Structure 1
Amino acid sequence: MNNLPVLADRLAKLFLIYSLFIAAIVIGIPSAIVLFHSDSADPGKNIVDTSLEKNVANPAKSESTAKRTTKSSPTPAPLHTLSFGWVTGNYSNLANYNNLQIVSPLFASIGASSPLKVETASPLISKMHGEGKKVWGRVTMEAQTSAATRQFLENPGRINQTAQEIGSNAVKSRMDGINVDIENIGANDRKAFMSFIVALSNALKPNHILLSVDLQPETGGVQNISSFNQVLNQYSDYVVFMGYDEHWATDPTPGPVTSLQWLKNNVQQFIKTGISAQKLLLGLPSYTRVWQVDANGATIQSQAVSSEDFNNLMLKEHHSGQWNSTTGTSYVSYSVGGKQYKAWLMNDQSLQSYLQLIQDYHLAGYGFWNLNLMSANNWNKLPNPG
Structure 2
Amino acid sequence: MPASDTAGGEVWVKDGSVFLSVPFVQKYTDIEVYTAEEPARIAIQHDFTEVRTVTAKRDTAIRIRGGIKAEVLTEVEKGTALLLMEELQDWDQVATFDGYIGYVQKKKVSAPETQTFEREFQAEEYTYLSMDEPVNMAWHQVTNTEANAGFAEAVQNVSGVNVISPTWFTIADNEGNVSGIPSGDYVSQAHERGMQVWALIDNFKEEVKTTEVLSRTSSRQNLIRQLVDGTLGVGADGINVDFESLQEEVGPHFLEFLRELSIECHKNHLVLSVDNPVPEDFTSHYDRSEQGKVVDYVIIMGYDEHYAGSQEAGSVASLPWVEKGIADTLEEVAPERVINAVPFYTRLWKTAGGALTSEAIGMDQAQEVISVHQVETYWDKTTGQNYGTYESEGATYQIWLEDAQSIEAKVKLVPKYHLAGVAQWKLGLENSGIWSVISESLK
Question: 2:253: which partner in 1?
Answer: 192
> Residue 382 of structure 2 corresponds to which residue in structure 1?
326
Aligned ranges 1:315-354 → 2 under 5 Å = 315-354=371-410
Equivalent in the alignment of 2:239: 178
Give 1:309 deviation, angstroms.
Answer: 2.0
Distance 2:237 2:299 in 1: 16
The TM-score with structure 1 as length reference comes to: 0.74
The one of 308, 320, 326 aligned to 1:267: 326
Check the 8 A contact 1:111/1:148 in 2, yes or no: no
The answer to whether the aligner puts 1:384 opposite 2:437 as a matched pair is no
Q: Structure 1 unaligned runs (5+)?
A: 1-78
Amino acid at match of 1:362: H
CA contact (8 A) 1:136 1:179 kept: yes
Q: Tell me if the contact between 1:177 and 1:210 (Cα under 8 Å) persists in the aligned partners.
A: yes
Q: Specify the alignment match of 2:15 in structure 1.
A: none
Percent pairwise identity? 25
> 1:218/1:111 Cα in 2 relative to 1: closer, same or farther (>3 Å)?
farther
1:84 paired with 2:142, answer: no
Q: Which residue of 1 aligns with 2:170?
A: 109
Q: Report the Cα distance in structure 2 between the residues aligned to 1:161 and 1:178, rounded to whole angstroms.
A: 16
Equivalent in the alignment of 2:305:
246
2 CA distance for matches of 1:185 and 1:82?
Answer: 26
1:195-214 equivalences under 5 Å are 195-214=256-275
1:304 counterpart = 2:363: no
Q: How far apart are 1:381 and its partner, in Å?
A: 3.6
Corresponding residue pairs, total: 302
Contact 1:94 1:376 in 2 (8 A): no
User: In the alignment, is the contact (CA less than 8 A) between 1:247 and 1:254 conserved in 2?
Assistant: yes
Partners of 2:366 and 2:285 lie apart in 1 by 40
**In the alignment, which residue of structure 2 is the partner of 1:220?**
281
What SS class does the counterpart of residue 165 from structure 1 fall into? helix
Cα distance in 2 between the residues matched to 1:96 and 1:221: 39
- Return the index of the structure with the highest Cα Rg: 1
Query: 2:169 touches 2:180 (CA, 8 Å); kept in 1?
Result: yes
User: What is the Cα-based RMSD across aligned positions, in Å?
Assistant: 2.0
Matches within 5 A, 1:112-191: 112-113=173-174, 115-143=177-205, 148-191=209-252
Q: Which is bigger in relative contact order (C-alpha 8 A, separation at least 6)?
A: 1
**Can you list the C-alpha shifts for 1:211-234, whole angstroms capped at 9, x where unaligned?**
000001233257666xx2222111
CA gap 1:86/1:224 in 2 versus in 1, 3 angstroms: closer
Contact 1:213 1:240 in 2 (8 A): yes
Task: Give the residue type in structure 1 aligned to 2:414.
Answer: I
Deviates more, 1:189-198 or 1:317-326: 317-326
How far 1:149 moved relative to its partner? 2.0
Distance 1:130 1:281, change over 3 A: same
Query: Tell me, what secondary structure is at the counterpart of 1:380?
Result: helix
Q: Give the 3 Å change call, closer, same or farther, for CA 246–144 of structure 1 in structure 2.
A: farther
The structural deviation recorded for 1:156 is: 2.4
Q: Higher helix fraction: Structure 1 or Structure 2?
A: 1
Q: Is 2:292 the partner of 1:230?
A: no
- Residues 408, 437 of structure 2: 8 Å contact kept: no
